Structure 1
């Protein structure tokens, strides 16, 4: 249950993170992609909530940190970090998928998110 709650928090935090990136980017295509990913992350949190039964509020720390990274490191380096984070989350979900089958859908989305992040690099 602890791993699920951590994952649920991560998904909720990711909603804010991708919404923040959508506000920061000047690239309209990237903005659309970030907003779609934010929506997906919200769905993931909802799937996990179905298992935990808990309502979790997003924390803004990660989104603020990524916002700062975006301003300091720039678009490409920030996206590389995000793609790496998406892939890392897949590894974490792999440990849960057997017990919680709907996690597979989340894993597939996270892989797609990593590919999107890489494709948005200029």
Structure 2
């Protein structure tokens, strides 16, 4: 079966996406302290290489990864944590699941790869540590209460004292 130039261009883009995702998952796994999460990310990274090799059979060439995207997600994982990076990666997996009807007809492995990408998305969602996220609501409510009390205190002092310098010092 002869692929069109347009199909080969799309396959090369998908191939680049797979090798990029492989490196992203591999790098995030390196900075993940939880062994189970690290194992899942490493396995997903390996499956992304398998997808890359399938695409390579059609293009007949190696494709360079998007290193800027790899470093972006790596820095996100280092600075903001794996949970935040995984949420961003979830959207990447959703994009990868969108199948091109023309390619579906030309590539027999594509349905299997798409179901594998859907499985990856579910596994990434399961990695998110919901226990930590439960406390975020409590922190926000606590900060809200503190802000209301602080504002009320300053308003009371403003009416009682009416000296802006004393109120500013009390606010600090």
Determine the C-alpha separation between the residues in 1 that align with 2:107 and 2:33.
38
2:60 aligned with 1:53, yes or no?
yes
**Deviation per residue, 1:58-111 (Å, 9 max, x gap):** 3422221101111233222211111111011111x3442222121112111111
Q: CA RMSD in A?
A: 1.3
**Deviation per residue, 1:27-82 (Å, 9 max, x gap):** 10010001100100000001111111112233422221101111233222211111
Matching residue within 88, 92, 96 for 1:81: 88
Give the Å deviation of 1:114: 0.4
- Whose RCO is larger (CA < 8 A, sep 6+)? 1
2:8 aligned with 1:37, yes or no?
no
- Match of 1:97, SS state, is helix
Larger radius of gyration: 2
- Please report the TM-score for the alignment, with normalisation by the length of structure 1: 0.91
Unaligned ranges ≥5, structure 2: 1-7, 130-172
Q: How many matched pairs?
A: 121
Determine the C-alpha separation between the residues in 2 that align with 1:81 and 1:54.
29
Matching residue within 2, 10, 20 for 1:3: 10
